[in-house]
Amino acid sequence: MATQESKSRAEALIPKFQFERVLNQDEAGRRITLYGQVDSQPALLILERAPFPDAEEYLCVLPANLRSITNLGHNDIYSWFLASGGPILEDNENDKFADFKMSMIWPCTDKHVKKHSKQGYRSVVETPEIYRDKVRPFMQTNREEGRLNWVYNIIEGRKEVEDVIYRTPLGRDGEEGFLMLPNLHWDRKTIDALHLLGIVERRDIWSLRDLKKKHIPWLRHMKTKLIDATVKTYPQIDMDQLKLFCHYHPTYYHFHIHVVHVMLEANATQSVGKAVGLDSIIEQLESMSGDDETGMDTISLSYTLGEASDLWTEIFEPLKKSGRASQPQ
């Protein structure tokens, strides 16, 4: 076991580190590997953001002590920011080195609280029948509650106009109209963590469940346009450094496609049971027998749900208790 003296000697090494260059940065910018010198000998310093302390005395003062808070965008009840909580550098009067990426939902609802609270998860199978009889009406209710206002603000050019990196002129291309802009969780600086959203203008496609064989050319067209717009806007990225996927279930029921850098660490939003690759959707549709109206509403889909989610509490938990839910294989 290390003695107090040996611990002190080890701790004294950190302030001696003389930075020379960055070797690597990953975990979407949360971990960085530095090369330098300590006492004229080569050294590596690997820095990773520790979990936030959950002590009340720390969290009570944290927001008020952040500096240089910069709003990256605001739409409806959603806002996102950069801020600094690190050391103040004497030669950096503007304190530009933001080390916090923040989002705020205000005023938030009980549904937001449930979504962002720690909870258990369940694996479920949504059959075509469950989708038709239970999930589709659930989606309809969600759409009618005004949860898409912020999406329509973007599509109609009322919000985030300056953030749109590509769009077809509003209304010109009918069902093929769409736009692309940064996902609100991306800091817009770390290229390896790039995360964009492609949002369609048409309002008849709520999720991947609405996609049919007749939409294959449209999906291929969108894929090409999204990739072309991305590499044109960010020329340091090659086409084969991008991956495109959809969520099921998505956060909101208006069809959109995620475009991310392949180096972006796969978190829960890219995991099996949440993300479905765009190429996989296209291949699935191509392999289906039937006419052009045959689509994704005819297959069973497996995914994970939080126990606090409305899909679980209102649909799948009652089905499980009644013995009518399909079990994951």
Q: Catalytic residue positions?
A: 256
Size of the chain, expressed as the number of residues it contains: 329
Q: What is the DSSP letter of 212?
A: B
List, in sequence order, the alpha helices (H) in the chain: 4-16, 56-65, 110-116, 128-130, 136-144, 149-155, 216-233, 278-287, 310-311, 317-322
- How far apart CA 275 and CA 269 sit, in angstroms, is 6
Those residues with Cβ within 8 angstroms of residue 88's Cβ, 6 or more apart along the chain or in another chain: 67, 95
Strands 18-26 and 275-277, bridge-based pairing: unpaired
H/E run at residue 79 = strand 78-84
User: At residue 97, what are phi and psi to the nearest 5 degrees?
Assistant: -85, 80
- How far apart CA 25 and CA 201 sit, in angstroms, is 36
With beta carbons less than 8 A apart as the criterion, state whether 43 and 36 touch. Answer: yes
- How far apart CA 71 and CA 52 sit, in angstroms, is 22
